[in-house]
Every structure is written in C-alpha cells, then in structure tokens.
Amino acid sequence: MVMNERSFLDPTLRKPPALALANTVPPQTAENHADARVAGILAAARLAFAEKGFDGASMQDLARAAGMSVGNFYRYFASKAAIVQALIALDVEEMGRDFQPVLASDDPIATMRQQVRIKLVKHQCSHDGALWAEITATALRKPEIGLACGMMETTIADYLMQAFAAATGFSIEEAQRRFAAHAALMVMLVKSSAMMPQQDETLRNDLNAMILRIIDQTLDEVAASGTKG
C-alpha cells in the first residue's frame, strides 16, 4: 500500500483529503516528498518498524537504519508518529495511481478486479503485513496515527465510490447511499490480506482465493445494481 507527493488523478475528479504532514519535514523538502533523502529515510523506517515494531524501534534505531546521526535525523522527522503519518500519506498516493486506470476505464468493475489481484500479490510479496499490523495496533493507542489511518480508509472508500458511480450510472451521493458497506468491506479485506500468515503458502493461497471470491461477489452486486445497460 507507496509514493510520490503528486496527484495522479484527473483534476476534475473529486480529490481525497490531504494528510497533514506539517513539521514532519524541513521547509526545503515540504513541497517534494520525492526528495531522495526523505524517500530513503522512509524506506529505511518502513523496514525498521516491520522488524522491530513501532515501540521497539527507537529514533536511534531509525536514524541508524537510514545511515544518519540522530541529530540530523530529527531535522527530517520530529517523532515516530510523524514518520508513520508520512508513510500513510505515501500509501494513499499510491492508491491514487492504482485507481487512475480504474476511473479512466470503460469497464471500471473489470479493471478494479484486476487491480485488486495485483494489490494482494504486491502487498504480500513486499512483506508490508508486519508493518501494517504494527500501524493498526499503534492506531488504537496513538490518536494522531488513528486519525491518519482513518483518513486513509476514507480516501480509499472515496475512490471506490467514484468507481462504483462510474460503473453504475448513479451519482456519487446515490452510490454512497447504496454501496458504503460494499466499499468498507473491500477496504477491510484488502487490508487484512496483507497481514495473513506468510509461513504457510497453502493456507495463504486458500485465504487469497476466498478473499477474491468475496470481493468478486461484492463487485457483482454493485454492477447488478446499476442503471447502465
């Protein structure tokens, strides 16, 4: 679920809420999260959090992982919470890229099915599950992380609603009324798929197949409800 501060959607489409990252990066990089140094710090932090956990990874550990002194590290990120917020923001932007072909497609539902399958494999191959398990647990204890996670899920649901509206011919408001639970279910399933057991390949494959069947059934319900022919 990663990366670039630019918007990848048509400007005429409704854009998701921006995550506040004030005071998390120095002024010279605030307008460009693609800055190589910041990107390197976030990549190193992603691995460190996944390996040691949010509480287990100290700022010293994160600085060491990034190949920096602690003092220099604090110039970029003032806290671990700020780093997690930045990671979430990057993942939200990746979602924008993922949804671009869906929203531009003549058949948004079919394109979404393809994207979901790619996303499941990508998350599991990148071993992001441990990181997202940590972030999810931390969100229960840290209000600022909980807010960022909530905004991410709301943004994803927003994209889904645009796709559902495009596929069915309903307005955004009507799609929201009819399909809010469908979107929430899909968000929950894709998120949980990244955190499934990695050791047992047979179990993982079986769970993937079940998740995809449920998502396909959910998308079938949306498509069948539409006004388009």
pLDDT at 8 over 80: no
Return the pLDDT at 90.
86
Return the pLDDT at 123.
65
Say if 22 falls within a structural domain.
no
Say if 5 falls within a structural domain.
no
Note down the domain range covering 78. 27-224
The DSSP element (H or E) to which 107 belongs, if any, is none
The tens digit of pLDDT for each residue in 118-150 reads: 887 776 665 567 777 778 888 888 898 898 889
How does DSSP classify residue 28? G
Q: Name the phi and psi angles at 225, rounded to 5.
A: -85, -5
Say if 70 falls within a structural domain.
yes
**Are 172 and 165 contacting, i.e. CB atoms less than 8 angstroms apart?**
yes
Please name the residues in contact with 85: beta carbons below 8 A apart, sequence gap of 6 or more: 19, 20, 21, 24, 144, 145, 148
Percent residues over pLDDT 90 in the chain: 42
Return the pLDDT at 37.
85
Return the pLDDT at 17.
39
Return the pLDDT at 117.
87
How many Å apart are CA 169 and CA 85, to the nearest integer? 35
pLDDT-based confidence at residue 182 (cuts at 50, 70, 90): very high
Say if 19 falls within a structural domain.
no
Q: Name the phi and psi angles at 31, rounded to 5.
A: -90, 0
The tens digit of pLDDT for each residue in 45-91 reads: 988 887 888 888 999 999 999 999 999 999 999 999 899 889 888 88
Return the pLDDT at 197.
66
Return the pLDDT at 160.
95
Say if 212 falls within a structural domain.
yes
Say if 147 falls within a structural domain.
yes
**Are 139 and 146 contacting, i.e. CB atoms less than 8 angstroms apart?**
yes
- Strands of 62-168, DSSP E: none
pLDDT at 35 over 90: no
- Kindly report the pTM of this predicted structure: 0.74
How many Å apart are CA 151 and CA 18, to the nearest integer? 8
pLDDT at 13 over 60: no
pLDDT at 159 over 80: yes
Closest residue by Cα to residue 1 from 161, 164, 128, 114 = 128
Say if 12 falls within a structural domain.
no
Please provide the average confidence, as pLDDT, over all residues in the chain: 81
Return the pLDDT at 12.
37
How does DSSP classify residue 55? T
pLDDT-based confidence at residue 26 (cuts at 50, 70, 90): very low
Maximum distance among all alpha carbons in the chain?
A: 61
The count of domains in the chain is 1
Name the token pair of 120: 């499941």
Return the pLDDT at 169.
94
How many Å apart are CA 26 and CA 44, to the nearest integer? 18
Give the CATH number, domain containing residue 194: 1.10.357.10
pLDDT-based confidence at residue 16 (cuts at 50, 70, 90): very low
**Are 167 and 228 contacting, i.e. CB atoms less than 8 angstroms apart?**
yes
Identity of residue 39: A
Say if 110 falls within a structural domain.
yes
How many Å apart are CA 44 and CA 145, to the nearest integer? 19
Please name the residues in contact with 5: beta carbons below 8 A apart, sequence gap of 6 or more: 31, 32, 33, 34, 89, 93
The tens digit of pLDDT for each residue in 197-216 reads: 667 788 888 988 999 999 99
